[in-house]
Structure 1
């Protein structure tokens, strides 16, 4: 099992990183929260990882905190929740927000996430309730300096934010509406994505 990777951040997308480790490039799928927390390109980073081996692929998932990786591992053990859906959940809600949804029986917030239906939301609440004790406070053990970059143009910010939300599973109309509702001068595409996700989950 590959449980940790340290290397140079070569490429960065909202849900996929390329990390160079002594000349070997690792593609690592990450939740949006991890991508937002990381350094700019060409900086050294360290990620806590989880390796999934399938017949047709070996997939590596990375997280900026051990807590997020542990939560990912809890999620993929739940019937009907695979790695892709687990990343979607962690992209829309951080560990503290998910814990609050579970303890408040807030299935309505969970079903707003792409791919989470009513039954899956209820299953998440039931199976996670006893496993998320003391997870209400957000963790700050980030393993890279987060530097907010200024968007070059408002149009490119909107386009990138909408594309990221659509890739996560939201409908184009939903993505466009959410992005336009939160976009403001000076925000980066990552800021807009994060605010739009919060808006859609809260309704």
Structure 2
């Protein structure tokens, strides 16, 4: 089991990164709530990981905090929830917001996430309620502003910000129509890729 990686961040293209650890490059997928707390490429960083072995692949999922990783591990224990869907859920809302949804039976919020139908949302609430009751974060409203590092900073907008945002949303399971509509709704000329993606995600919750 690979539980933690510390090294130099070589590349990042949401939701994937390449991390150099003692000369070995690890490809890791992160939920966007963790991804946008990462430093710039070339910087040292530490991430907590969950290693998944399948017949056709070996996959690493990364998280900025152990709390996020713990919630991811609880999610993939739920019936019908695999790593990809768990990653999508934690990209669409913070760990605190998800716990709030579960503890307050907010089915309508959960079904707005890609891949989460009504039955899946109801099952998540039932299965996760007891596991999350002692987390102590259930009173954070889902409508609260996400407090991600650098979210309010002013960036020079890259030429491909819109394409980056669309690519990240598609990778998380949103349809082309959903992604395009959300990006167009929130797009501003001064937005970076990070700001555009997070604004689009929040517009769909």
On the 8 A contact 1:7/1:46 being kept in 2, the answer is: yes
Structure 1 residue 164 and structure 2 residue 195: aligned? no
RMSD across aligned positions (CA): 2.0
Unaligned residue ranges in structure 1 (runs of 5+): none
In 2, Cα distance between the equivalents of 1:102 and 1:12? Answer: 31
Shift in Å, 1:188: 0.8
In 1, Cα distance between the equivalents of 2:66 and 2:137? Answer: 12
- 1:180: which partner in 2? 184
In 2, Cα distance between the equivalents of 1:146 and 1:9? Answer: 17
Structure 1 residue 151 and structure 2 residue 157: aligned? yes
Shift in Å, 1:57: 2.0
Structure 1 residue 105 and structure 2 residue 109: aligned? no
| TM-score (norm: length of structure 2) | 0.89
- 2:4: which partner in 1? 4
Structure 1 residues 18-27 or 46-55, which shifts more?
46-55
On the 8 A contact 2:111/2:118 being kept in 1, the answer is: yes
On the 8 A contact 2:76/2:86 being kept in 1, the answer is: yes
Structure 1 residues 9-158: aligned runs within 5 Å:
9-132=9-132, 133=134, 134-136=136-138, 146=150, 149-153=155-159, 156-158=160-162
Aligned residues: 195
In 1, Cα distance between the equivalents of 2:164 and 2:29? Answer: 18
Unaligned residue ranges in structure 2 (runs of 5+): none
Shift in Å, 1:150: 2.3
In 2, Cα distance between the equivalents of 1:150 and 1:39? Answer: 17
Shift in Å, 1:146: 5.0
1:126-173 Cα distance to aligned partner (Å, 9 max, x none) = 1111222313469xxx9xx758542133xx222221221122121222
- 2:198: which partner in 1? 194
